[in-house]
């Protein structure tokens, strides 16, 4: 069986930046382009050089980089109506970007030509042909046929005519775009085959550009490849307008690891994929999608006791691929359904121990806490501290003597809400007392705790809270039920989750805050004050 090379065309920097809440700085764009080139992506669409200065600067600066075989593309629309291509500022801006490839987008749907562009059908064809011809004198031309699938349904002859105009003018790639994202895979396959046949007299390659409005962008991209497309356009993590573009992460992983007969990225490994995905999320300031296929934090996470038991026997039993192939890793969640096998697996991951006696001690402590409403699946840092405590490896950095919060309306009818906290701690044999105000009682308590500790533990200034969640554990009793608080903290090197459970939300929050701080101090190997005993029980975490 021969292997067909499939080119990967990334448009994270252009179509991806249309996503809600996404905005890249110039430096962001340069950084992402370099990462994509390292990964071995064939084409990187850098932006629209007419639209803004940032994109012009991007093309100017990226030109100086050695990106290996990766080609940068500038993106632009066909010339304006009733204008020569060489006089159109959009066309000349594309040339000035001096990229080896130019991606030209044109109208395929008759309705769009007449109703949106307000040109005749013939003028639209002329705009495509003349623009492609002009650009082909300076660069290799990729032609993006906007709304191809909708246009073909409405007027197949005209849609094909627009493709032929681009091909005969020198475009080397014809990219079929499902711009509205609503086409079904069987239709993508069928229409891709027809388009190839109708242009079989040209020496062109076909590409596919999908959007995810039907939750089918990955399937549609794969269907087009099976129908003969040799280029897939998409974005990292599928970011993009509305429901996003085809996710190149899942397209590449499926082509390389699932389907047979295709080669992507010049045969390079996919192990940097998870890191690349997270890098793009971080740069775009977007939340990771934990359940993202292949690269998500939960993609190889196992919760049910039965599954975990089986996973330990043979990974392939419950995993569709080896997570290491995409740079991801297996995670065993500690949950209400977990048994000994879950805990042993986590302890092993944390390189802790797996002797039978220690396991039993950890297990019985976890069961005791789970019965109180603890759940360690998103509180890995609290679990870590618990293990250290059970194994006698935990040193406490401070003792809480007392804390108190006051909150309410300041006074009659002014409705000014206030919150204050006081805290009294022992660090070794020194007594510390402090107070702080906050936007709410937990915020005030956090502020007071840090204020009291910072003098002695300055590294705590590096950490901050990034998320705070509260849940009633047994909701049948309303506000008198147990309250579970999860806090997510971060410093420059990562994030960690802690938990507190109590009937009192303030107490639960306080325990989660204390765990967050202790985890940071242990992580940084900050010595505890002299004379502090090593803990041998989980009493603190347990909130007793």
Query: Per CB under 8 A, does 156 bind its own copies?
Result: no
Query: Per CB under 8 A, does 380 bind its own copies?
Result: no
Residues 42 and 52: their CA atoms lie apart, in Å, by 25
Residue 447 dihedral angles phi and psi, to the nearest 5°? -65, -40
Q: Residues 283 to 322: which contact its own copies by CB under 8 A?
A: 285, 287, 289-294, 296-304, 307, 309-310, 313-314, 317-321
Query: Per CB under 8 A, does 525 bind its own copies?
Result: no
Closest listed residue to residue 265, CA positions, set 72, 69, 41: 41
Q: Residues 125 to 154: which contact its own copies by CB under 8 A?
A: none
Least separation in angstroms between residue 204's CB and its own copies is 26
Name the residue nearer to its own copies (CB basis): 30 or 387. Answer: 30
Least separation in angstroms between residue 491's CB and its own copies is 13
SS (H, E, C) 10-77: ECCCCCHHHCCCCCCCHHHHHHHHHHHHHHCCCEEEEECCCCCHHHHHHHHHHCCCCCCCCEEEEEEE
Element (H, E) at 280: helix 273-284
Q: 491 vs 252, 378, 384, 498, CA distance in Å? A: 32, 17, 17, 14
Name the residue nearer to its own copies (CB basis): 199 or 246. Answer: 246
Name the residue nearer to its own copies (CB basis): 61 or 168. Answer: 61
Residue 498 dihedral angles phi and psi, to the nearest 5°? -130, 165
Which span (264-272, 346-354, 473-481, 520-528) binds its own copies, by CB under 8 A? 473-481
Query: Per CB under 8 A, does 254 bind its own copies?
Result: yes
Residue in 139, 167, 252, 506 binding its own copies, rule: CB under 8 A = 506
Residues 50 and 90: their CA atoms lie apart, in Å, by 6
Residue in 3, 120, 495, 504 binding its own copies, rule: CB under 8 A = 504
137-194-148-134 Cα dihedral, nearest 10 degrees:
10
Residue in 247, 365, 434, 535 binding its own copies, rule: CB under 8 A = 247
Name the residue nearer to its own copies (CB basis): 131 or 254. Answer: 254
Query: Per CB under 8 A, does 354 bind its own copies?
Result: no
Residue in 172, 180, 205, 532 binding its own copies, rule: CB under 8 A = 180
Residue in 3, 87, 89, 111 binding its own copies, rule: CB under 8 A = 111
Which span (35-43, 93-101, 158-166, 398-406) binds its own copies, by CB under 8 A? 398-406
Which span (37-45, 355-363, 395-403, 449-457) binds its own copies, by CB under 8 A? 395-403
Closest listed residue to residue 372, CA positions, set 517, 499, 522, 225: 499
Name the residue nearer to its own copies (CB basis): 170 or 238. Answer: 238
Name the residue nearer to its own copies (CB basis): 400 or 537. Answer: 400
| Window 412-441: contact mask with its own copies (x via CB under 8 A) | xx-x-x-x----x-------------xxxx
Partner residues linked to 10 by β-bridges: 44, 234
Q: Residues 15 to 54: which contact its own copies by CB under 8 A?
A: 18-21, 23, 25-28, 51
Count of residues of this chain found to bind its own copies when the rule CB under 8 A is applied: 124
Q: Enumerate residues 6+ apart whose C-beta is below 8 A from 303.
A: 333, 335, 337, 338, 377
Query: Per CB under 8 A, does 112 bind its own copies?
Result: yes
Residues 350 and 345: their CA atoms lie apart, in Å, by 9
Name the residue nearer to its own copies (CB basis): 70 or 212. Answer: 212
Tokens matching residue 419: 């919150």
Name the residue nearer to its own copies (CB basis): 136 or 422. Answer: 422
Q: Residues 359 to 378: which contact its own copies by CB under 8 A?
A: 375, 377-378
Query: Per CB under 8 A, does 505 bind its own copies?
Result: yes
Residue 519 dihedral angles phi and psi, to the nearest 5°? -60, -45
Element (H, E) at 536: none
CB 441 within 8 A of CB 433: no
CB 540 within 8 A of CB 394: no
Which span (58-66, 129-137, 217-225, 355-363) binds its own copies, by CB under 8 A? 217-225
Closest listed residue to residue 136, CA positions, set 89, 167, 180, 171: 171
End-to-end CA distance of the chain: 66
Name the residue nearer to its own copies (CB basis): 100 or 440. Answer: 440
CB 521 within 8 A of CB 457: yes
Residue in 121, 243, 393, 435 binding its own copies, rule: CB under 8 A = 243
Residue in 99, 124, 179, 274 binding its own copies, rule: CB under 8 A = 179
Tokens matching residue 98: 């001096």
| Window 484-503: contact mask with its own copies (x via CB under 8 A) | ----x-------------xx
């Amino acid at each position: 069986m021969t292997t067909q090379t499939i080119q990967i065309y990334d448009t994270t920097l252009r179509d991806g930046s249309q996503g809600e809440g996404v905005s890249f700085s110039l430096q962001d764009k340069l950084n992402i382009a370099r990462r994509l080139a390292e990964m071995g992506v064939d084409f990187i669409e850098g932006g629209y050089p007419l639209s803004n200065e940032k994109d012009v600067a991007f093309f100017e600066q990226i030109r100086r980089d050695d990106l290996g075989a990766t080609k940068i593309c500038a993106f632009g629309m066909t010339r304006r109506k009733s204008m020569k291509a060489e006089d159109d500022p959009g066309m000349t801006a594309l040339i000035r970007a001096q990229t080896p490839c130019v991606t030209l987008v044109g109208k395929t749907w008759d309705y769009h030509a007449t109703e949106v562009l307000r040109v005749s059908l013939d003028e639209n064809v002329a705009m495509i042909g003349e623009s492609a011809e002009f650009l082909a004198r300076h660069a290799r031309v990729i032609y993006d046929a906007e709304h191809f699938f909708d246009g073909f349904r409405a007027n197949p002859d005209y849609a094909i005519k627009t493709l032929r105009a681009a091909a005969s003018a020198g475009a080397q790639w014809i990219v079929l775009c499902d711009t509205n994202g609503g086409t079904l895979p069987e239709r993508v396959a069928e229409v891709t085959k027809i388009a190839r046949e109708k242009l079989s007299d040209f020496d062109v390659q076909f590409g596919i550009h999908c959007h995810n409005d039907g939750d089918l962008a990955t399937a549609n991209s794969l269907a087009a490849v099976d129908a003969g497309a040799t280029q897939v356009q998409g974005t990292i993590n599928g970011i993009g307008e509305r429901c996003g573009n085809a996710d190149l992460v899942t397209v590449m992983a499926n082509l390389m690891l699932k389907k047979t007969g295709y080669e992507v990225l010049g045969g390079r490994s996919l192990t940097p994929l998870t890191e690349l995905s997270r890098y793009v999320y971080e740069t775009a300031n977007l939340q990771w999608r934990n359940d993202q296929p292949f690269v998500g934090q939960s993609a190889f996470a196992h919760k049910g006791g039965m599954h975990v038991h089986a996973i330990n026997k043979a990974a392939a039993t419950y995993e569709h691929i080896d997570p290491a192939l995409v740079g991801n890793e297996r995670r065993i969640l500690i949950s209400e359904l977990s048994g000994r096998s879950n805990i042993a697996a986590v302890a092993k991951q944390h390189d802790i121990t797996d002797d039978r006696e220690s396991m039993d001690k950890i297990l019985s402590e976890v069961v005791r806490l789970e019965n109180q409403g603890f759940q360690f699946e998103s509180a890995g840092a609290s679990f870590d501290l618990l293990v250290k405590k059970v194994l006698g490896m935990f040193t406490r950095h401070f003792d809480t003597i007392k804390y108190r919060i006051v909150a309410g309306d300041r006074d009659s009818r002014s409705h000014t809400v206030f919150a204050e906290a006081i805290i009294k701690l022992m660090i070794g044999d020194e007594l510390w007392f402090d107070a702080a105000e906050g936007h709410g009682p937990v915020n005030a308590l956090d502020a007071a705790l840090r204020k009291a500790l910072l003098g002695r533990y300055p590294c705590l200034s590096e950490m901050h809270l990034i998320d705070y969640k509260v849940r009633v554990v047994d909701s049948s009793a309303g506000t008198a039920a147990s309250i579970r608080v999860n806090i997510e903290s971060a410093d420059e090197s990562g994030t960690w989750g802690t938990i507190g459970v109590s009937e009192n939300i303030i107490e639960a929050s306080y325990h989660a805050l204390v765990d967050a701080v202790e985890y940071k101090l242990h992580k940084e190997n900050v010595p505890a004050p002299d004379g502090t005993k090593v803990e041998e029980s989980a009493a603190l975490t347990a909130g007793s």
